[in-house]
Amino acid sequence: MPEPTKPTTGFPNPATDHAERNLNLHQYAVRHEEATFFWRARGEAMREAGITDGDLLIVDRFVDARPGDVVVVAVAGEFLVRRWRREADGALLYTEHPDYPPLVISSETDYQIWGTVIWVLHNPNRRRR
Amino acid sequence: MSNLALCDCDSFYCSCERLFRSDLTHRPVVVAGNNDGCVVSRSKEAKPIIPTGAPIHEYRRQLQEYGVVVFSSNYALYQEVSSRVQSVMSRYTGKQEIFSIDESFLDLSAIPPGERAAAMSELRGAILHEVGIPVSIGLAPTKVLSKLASHVAKSLPEGVHGFADAAAADDILSITPCDEIWYVGPARSRQLREEMGITSGLQLKRADIIRIRRRLHVPVARIVCELRGIPALPLHTSAPARKEIMCARAFGKLVTTLADLQEAVARYTADATRRLLAGHQVCGTLSVSLMTNGFRTDLPQYRASCIVPFDRPTNYIPDLITAARAAAAQIFKPGISYYRAGVMLSDLDSDTLIQGSLFADDPDDKQRRLLAVIAAIEAKFGKGAIYFAATGGSSPPWAMRQNQLSPRYLTRWSDLPVARA
């Protein structure tokens, strides 16, 4: 990138010695570079967890999901975003919307956690970039 | 002592395609190469159905019958997944040779010998857990033996296999034909069989090395050393400086006009120059070649090439494109249906040799600034955000056929994988 034009006369910039790097959102949100993937959420079933249609999900595969975490999970050939809880033999995948019931999974082999959602990037003004 | 490991991704392209398609977990998957022509990667389930390298169009019936899912090569996806895999590997070794997009040799000498196998199991788990790609790892004292060990590893559920020393590989070598040993290949193994009566890997290992060197030259003698556990192929931890850069591709459909040909060679020139710039190199010569499809005996056949030398070595894309277009015009013959074109940059040199001019208004400086601006735009907005009009738009008529291309999940915001909320 081209350097911004520097003034050639006038007072020296008193902030020069205190300059720090600009804040970098990627650095803040991504802790495990190789294991972090961006996903798009589609649908409203997780609305009360702060995830709405079109939101960007930051998913970390390094982080092991703990019961109650929001995860990306593969069920019957499809990827879902759900709040996950392990049951005696299987799992419960909770939605966060009164109209959508939780999904009961009766066997450990019927679902696979793909990764843990660690951040959600949400546009509050409903305008797409 | 097994101080070397080969880490090999299982059915790499297919594994990348499956990463964001959980519906394909147990289905047979294949990936086709350029122009959707031949099979370049097969999942475990697809291996009994179609041989590697087979032309897709000859197997349509079988593919359909077994419900095989066919993808075009999504190089943008594979490259990004590959660099994540390599990056996980680099945590386990200080010295790593990236041999290909899906294979790396790791120097394990920094890990105590008794802990190496366990460390490689851990690495395999880390790559699967973090990146989602299955790998097989072979440990051995040499490259050729570690490749063999990785083949053994592929058939084991734990995915890791080691030969503590060269003798440990003897049982496997006795049932391994020569052409399955790394670097030997079909031509040399035929020669070994016909001239020396050698068919198995174990026979090759025990062969008279002087005779081998005399009859089949040094490369095969090196393999014999490696089979005996004596390293003869060193680890290359940095890519050797390239001597030439080639970009040659068959067209999606036959090309008949000079305008289309020039657009294609301009695009290939831009792609080749991108690699030239990435390696901080300049080139002294550009050559363009054109050819027809030799299998289309119903059409007139023609092939030609044209070499353009430069007064001064360059990496300036506009000059290179101009040269390539002029070269194409010189060898173009009307009434011919062209099948393939290629652009080669040669006489490569380091660009530091032409940098550092004394004069501020040096034209080279202006050119460097233009290249820097293009590079910055591509870095920020992605490849294709800016291009030379001479290289054609986003889908020119001659473009490679990629009918089954999956989304560029990792490199485009518009292509992110979708999870239903």
Instruction: Dump pLDDT digits (tens) for A27-54.
Output: 999 999 999 999 999 999 999 999 999 9
Whether A77 sits inside 8 A of B22 (CB atoms) is yes
Q: How far apart are CA B29 and CA B15, in angstroms?
A: 9
CB-based contact, A18 to chain B, within 8 Å: no
Is the predicted pLDDT of residue A22 greater than 80, yes or no?
yes
Residue B154 or residue B366, greater confidence: B154
**Residue B360 confidence class, pLDDT cut points 50, 70, 90:** very low
Side-by-side strand order, sheet with B69-72: B39-42, B29-32, B69-72
Q: What is the mean pLDDT of chain B?
A: 90
So what's the ipTM on this one?
0.87
Provide the 10 A C-beta neighbour count for residue B403. 11
List, in order, residues 6 or more apart from B116 with CB less than 8 Å away.
Answer: B2, B3, B5, B108, B139, B162
Is the predicted pLDDT of residue B166 greater than 70, yes or no?
yes
3-state secondary structure of A24: coil
In the block, tokens 């020069």 appear at A16
- Are B161 and B153 contacting, i.e. CB atoms less than 8 angstroms apart? yes
Is the predicted pLDDT of residue B215 greater than 90, yes or no?
no
Q: How far apart are CA B296 and CA B339, in angstroms?
A: 10
Percent of chain A exceeding pLDDT 90 equals 70
Instruction: Specify the pLDDT at position A127.
Output: 61
Q: How far apart are CA A25 and CA A32, in angstroms?
A: 14
Tens-digit pLDDT profile for residues B83-142: 999 999 999 998 999 999 999 999 999 999 999 999 999 999 999 999 999 999 999 999
Is the predicted pLDDT of residue B306 greater than 60, yes or no?
yes
β-bridge mates for residue B309, sequence order? B285
3-state secondary structure of B410: coil
The CA–CA distances, whole Å, from B311 to A40, B280, B314, B348 equal 52, 19, 9, 14
> What is the nearest CA distance from A5 to chain B, expressed in angstroms?
16
Instruction: Tell me which residue in A33, A38, A51 faces B421 most closely, judged by beta carbons.
Output: A51
Is the predicted pLDDT of residue B359 greater than 60, yes or no?
no
Note the pTM of the prediction, 2 decimals.
Answer: 0.82
Tens-digit pLDDT profile for residues B314-347: 999 999 999 999 999 999 999 999 999 999 999 9
What region, left, alpha or beta, does residue B294 occupy, with left being phi > 0 and alpha being psi -120 to 50 degrees? alpha
Instruction: Specify the pLDDT at position B357.
Output: 47
Whether A45 sits inside 8 A of B420 (CB atoms) is yes
> What is the nearest CA distance from A25 to chain B, expressed in angstroms?
15
CB < 8 Å to B29, chain A: none
CB-based contact, A37 to chain B, within 8 Å: yes
Is the predicted pLDDT of residue B264 greater than 90, yes or no?
yes
Q: How far apart are CA B247 and CA B345, in angstroms?
A: 9
Tens-digit pLDDT profile for residues B340-356: 999 999 999 888 765 44
Complete DSSP assignment for A57-78: EEEESSSPP-TT-EEEEEETTE
Tens-digit pLDDT profile for residues B188-211: 899 999 988 999 999 999 999 888
